Amino acid sequence: MSLIAGTIIFTRNEQSYFLVTDEVPEPKFYTVKMHKHDGDTALGSLVSGMQDELGINMDNLRFGELAAWHTQGLDSPEDLVSLYTFEPVDSENLNLDRLSLLGLQFVNAKDVVDFLKNVDMTGVMQLD
C-alpha cells in the first residue's frame, strides 16, 4: 500500500493558492492510500478519493503535473510521496465550505513557502 498525494492549484489576483489540510503547525497535501492488490492505480485512487471523499467534480479539474513530495523534508529520501496537481476550470465551482468541514483549505503560497520547498520537481519517482 502506498500513499498518493494531490492538490488543486489556482491563481487569483496574481496569487497562487494550494489545497492543503488545516493541520497545525504545518499543513499537508491531501492523501489517499493506493491498494495495489485491489488493482488500484495511483491516479485512479486519487481521483476516486477526490470525488467520493471530497465531493469534487473532476470535470472541473485539469491535470497539471506530477511531482514528488518529501513528507519529512528534502533531506530524507525515503519519505517520497507522488504528488499530482490539478487546476480548476472554474475555481468558483469548488465547494470551499465542504472542503473546510473535511479539514482542507486553500492557502496562499506565500504563507506556506517552507512547506512548498518540500516539493521536488526533479525527484519524481517511477510509479509501478
Residue with cell 482542507: 104
**Class of residue 48 by CB neighbours under 10 A (exposed 0-12, middle 13-18, buried 19+):** middle
How many C-beta atoms surround the C-beta of residue 122 within 10 A? Answer: 6
Decide if pLDDT at 47 tops 90: yes
Give the N- to C-terminal CA distance of the chain in Å, as an integer. 12
Calculate the dihedral angle through the C-alpha atoms of 50, 119, 90, 45, rounding to the nearest 10 degrees.
-20
Collapsing DSSP states into helix, strand and coil, what is residue 74? coil
pLDDT tens digits, one per residue of 68-110: 888 776 666 667 888 999 999 999 999 999 999 999 999 999 9
Alpha-carbon distances, residue 74 vs 14, 21, 69, 107 (angstroms): 27, 20, 8, 21
Contacts of 81 (CB under 8 A, 6+ apart): 2, 3, 4, 5, 29, 31, 68, 69, 70, 71
pTM: 0.85
Q: What is the pLDDT of residue 127?
A: 46
| CB distance 71 to 79 below 8 Å | yes
